[in-house]
Amino acid sequence: MRKNLNVIAAYSIMMGLIILVGIFQSWNIALSIFNLCLISAVMTMGANIQWGYAGLINFGIMGYTALGGLAAVLISVNPVQEAWSAGGSNILFSLFLIIGMVLVVRYVLKKYEKSKTRTYIIATIIILGIIIIRFVSEPGIEAIEEIEPAKTGFLGGLGLPIIFSWIVGALFAGGLAFVIGKVALGLRADYLAIATLLISEIVIAIIKHEDWLTRGVKNVIGLKRPAPYEVNLQQTDWFINLVEKFNSSKLNLISDFAERQAALNQFVIEGSSIFVKLCYSGLFLVVVIILLILTQKALYSPWGRMMRAIRDNEEAANAMGKNVVKQHLLIFVLGSAIVGIAGAMLVTQDGLFTPGSYRPMRYTFLIWVMVIVGGSGNNFGAILGGFAVWFLWIEAAPIGLYLVNLTTAGLDDTHALKVHLIESVPYFRFLMMGIGLLLIMRYRPKGILPEKIEIK
């Protein structure tokens, strides 16, 4: 109990802060912060597995998040029948061609010794393949994008409940990570960082511009929900009764019937959106807890010890007969899959998929700040980092505004400097993140909750 005191203290402070937001701003804001904190926590757990357990830098988090989001679209949206009949066969045929191309390249790689000729043959196969695939897919893509471009213009998905996409998102992200890992994991740390950052940009470029698959920058809106809709809730009897019971003390103060009914309506509307958010919180909490149990188990298992051994001294681990390359690939895939789950969760919560919103600042670097600040190698630390940094990211604007008002209190309200500063309040969050990261790196390089390995 004693040794976990700092963990409990840190989490109580965090919860207390969110409750304070609930009391002073509104419960709606507090809950939406809490939900995004949970999603961030899942992302940081993914990044933490790679960085904390194995020392692999992955700056491609944005790419996996976006793939998870894409999974949510492809699973939950109803299939667009006209588009399938217009261009589906072309797309399927191109898919077969791609698979065929990969198989041929694999065959060439296996069959022949490494030589210049082999490289040229592979290059020719790939270039020819791309040209043939473009030839085949072009008419299909055009046909698909022409079908009601304002509403659909893409193939749609499978029409399944969106919750399945959390698993599929993990598979997508894991698959991408497998390919990237095969290609890039041999690189030294900072090159790996740059390579993954650039590859994630390529993924985003594809998602943004392949309209037949993702609708691109036209966005997909109105995705299915795992939680009830507010409008439906507001008309259900049991929910109205529940809200009435909750607020009975306030409602009893109002004697007039019409006024009481109006107040009740207000409570029901507020309550419905809080209820929906609570549903999401419950779902997300289940994911976070399952992942936490699994990652904790992994950390203290022989496998976790081996990962730390590889991280701390690759050569020694190699000499002990551990397959470093294979384990690196495995952990790279696992961590990325977890980030993919988070991406699908994020789109599920928002109910919309906007490829244009995926930017490295928010989805890669911010997650890294969370991991470093929270404590790399420690799952509780990573989750705490997700909570604390996201909380600060959202509340930075009010804090910044307060600070600006405090420091410029002596100035007139129309003073140019004051107006300018108040306009630029949104950017104080970058400043706080940067200074926070620099201070933590300098004075507490292992994070708020540092890695602590107990030998049981």
Partner 1 sequence: MDFLNAIILLLNYIFVPALAYGSQLALGAIFVTLIYGILRFANFATGDMMSFGTMFAILFTWYFQSIGISLGVLPTALLAIPFAIIFMIGYMLLIDKFVFKYYRVNKSPPVQLAMVSIGVMFVTQAVVRIIIGPSDRRFFDGEKFIIKAGEFKEMTGLNEGLAIKSTQVLTIIVTLILVSTLFWFLNKTKTGKSMRAYSDNEDLALLSGIDPKKIVMITWIIAGILATIGGALYGLDKSFKPFTYFNNMLPIFAAAIVGGIGNPFGAFLGGYVIAFSEILLTYAYRKFFMYVLPESMEPGGLVQLLSTDYKFAVSFSILVIVLLYRPSGIFKGKVL
Looking at the Cβ atoms of 41 and 421, the one nearer to partner 1 is 421
Shortest gap between Cβ of 434 and partner 1 (angstroms)? Answer: 3
Beta carbon of residue 188, minimum distance to partner 1 (angstroms, whole number): 5
Q: How far is the CB of 445 from partner 1 (least distance, A)?
A: 8
Counting runs of H as helices and runs of E as strands, what totals does the chain give? 21, 0
* Strand, helix or coil for residue 229: coil
Nearer to partner 1, 320 or 438 (CB): 438
Q: Closer to partner 1 by CB, 271 or 447: give it.
A: 447
Which residues in this chain contact partner 1 in the complex, by CB under 8 A? 57, 119, 183-184, 187-191, 193-195, 197-199, 201-202, 205-206, 208-209, 361, 365, 368-369, 372, 421, 423-424, 427-431, 433-435, 437-438, 441-442, 445
In angstroms, give the least distance from the CB of 41 to partner 1.
20
Through-space distance between the first and last CA atoms of the chain, rounded to whole angstroms: 16
Q: Name every residue whose Cβ is closer than 8 Å to that of residue 384 and which is 6 or more positions away in sequence.
A: 7, 10, 11, 14, 374, 375, 448, 449
Residue 420: CB minimum distance to partner 1, A: 8
Compute the least distance from the CB of residue 435 to partner 1, in Å.
Answer: 6
Task: State which residue, 294 or 397, has the beta carbon closest to partner 1.
Answer: 397
Q: Which amino acid is at 288?
A: V
* Separation CA 191–CA 56 (nearest Å): 11
The minimum distance between CB 341 and partner 1, in angstroms, equals 25
User: Which backbone phi and psi does 220 adopt, to 5 degrees?
Assistant: -115, 120
**Exposed, middle or buried: residue 411 (CB in 10 Å: 0-12, 13-18, 19+)?**
middle
Cβ nearer to partner 1, comparing 206 with 352: 206
C-alpha span between 27 and 6 (Å, rounded): 27
Report the residue number, 184 or 288, with the smaller CB distance to partner 1: 184
State which residue, 175 or 351, has the beta carbon closest to partner 1: 175
Helices (H), 227-357: 230-233, 237-246, 248-252, 257-299, 302-312, 314-319, 324-350
**Distance of alpha carbon 23 from the chain centroid:** 28
Burial class (CB in 10 A: 0-12, 13-18, 19+), 164: middle
